[in-house]
Amino acid sequence: CNNFCSYCIVPYVRGRERSRDPQCVLEEVRDLVEHGYKDITLLGQNVNSYGNDLDISYDFADLLSDIDKIPGEYRIRFMTSHPKDATRKLFDTMARCTHVAKQLHLPVQSGSNRILSEMNRRYTREKYLGLVEDIRAAVDGVELTTDIIVGFPGETEEDFEETLALVRQVGFSAAYTFMYSPRLGTRAAEMENQVPEEVKKDRLLRLNACSAEQLKVGNQKYIGQEGTVLVEGCDRREKAPMAYGKLTNFKMVYFPGDAGLIGSMRHVRITGIQNNSLIGELVE
Ligand code: SF4
């Protein structure tokens, strides 16, 4: 990674960004699809800067477009996208490509501009919210997930409340939340204004309660909608077996069905909500 966020050890231990040859990635995806793999994830610390170090003019959106041309029944996901490098071109490509999942993991880390600057994230709260608006306008039904750190050195109650307000405003379908913990050798570990553990714990609990509430509200809108589930497994703990899998936007759906459905794509109608998942019924 080339970014050097002030809390992160990755750039020191993993070195600089390197983009794999596009033909090599395309070959690998083609091979996976031919072998029947249906859920393929492109993984990098910052996939949005893919191509910056290539000799040709070719970026991550170009790679997604080329992968999408590979025929077959499969989905492509990717992570992680750094907000500073997310582009309108990427969002338009996601909207256009039929194999690309309608889900974006976009780590915000904090809702406070002061803390974002101390973290060396190189975007503002306003820039982040602008990206959210852009992707929702471009990609119909997209769901957003994020990462958030609470208790970064110097984070005040006001800074934290800005994070809570951002979470309420965006309505993420999942937030992976962490208490800040110092990594030896990073700039943030040397900062003097470390936040006490009990304050971090309290903020984490409040943030998790807030994001759970948003998830509940967000799930309501699915009742009555239809979509395609890639069936991943079968839960036999209920009276009747329940097949489960994800919609293209990563929402988990359970519906009556047996293990014979695993690996297939099924059209379902959403009929209810249970915990953090959706409940549905087979349409075909
Ligand atoms: Fe790179 Fe992510 Fe670490 Fe920032 S948090 S330095 S973008 S790996």
Q: Ligand 1, from 2, 3, 105: best to mutate by most atoms within 8 Å of Cβ? A: 3
Q: Are 78 and 41 in contact (CB under 8 A)?
A: yes
pLDDT score, position 182: 96
Q: Ligand 1, from 10, 117, 148: best to mutate by most atoms within 8 Å of Cβ? A: 10
Q: Are 244 and 232 in contact (CB under 8 A)?
A: yes
Strand 252-256 and strand 277-282: the pairing is parallel
Residue 244 Cα to ligand 1 midpoint, Å, equals 33
Residue 82 Cα to ligand 1 midpoint, Å, equals 8
CA 163 from chain center: how many Å? Answer: 17
Q: CB within 6 Å of ligand 1 — which residues?
A: 1, 3-5, 8, 10-11, 45-46, 82
Q: Ligand 1, from 5, 82, 84: best to mutate by most atoms within 8 Å of Cβ? A: 5
Q: What is the pTM of this model?
A: 0.94
CB atoms within 10 A of CB 161: 14
Among 203, 126, 202, 135, which residue's Cα sits nearest to residue 172? 135
Residues in the chain: 284
Residue 45 CA: nearest ligand 1 atom is 8
Q: In this structure, what DSSP letter does residue 98 have? A: S
Residue 283 Cα to ligand 1 midpoint, Å, equals 42
User: Which pLDDT tens digits describe the chain residue by residue (284 residues)?
Assistant: 999 999 999 999 999 999 999 999 999 999 999 999 999 999 999 999 999 999 999 999 999 999 999 999 999 999 999 999 999 999 999 999 999 999 999 999 999 999 999 999 999 999 999 999 999 999 999 999 999 999 999 999 999 999 999 999 999 999 999 999 999 999 999 999 999 999 999 999 999 999 999 999 999 999 999 999 999 999 988 788 999 999 999 999 999 999 999 999 999 999 999 888 999 999 97
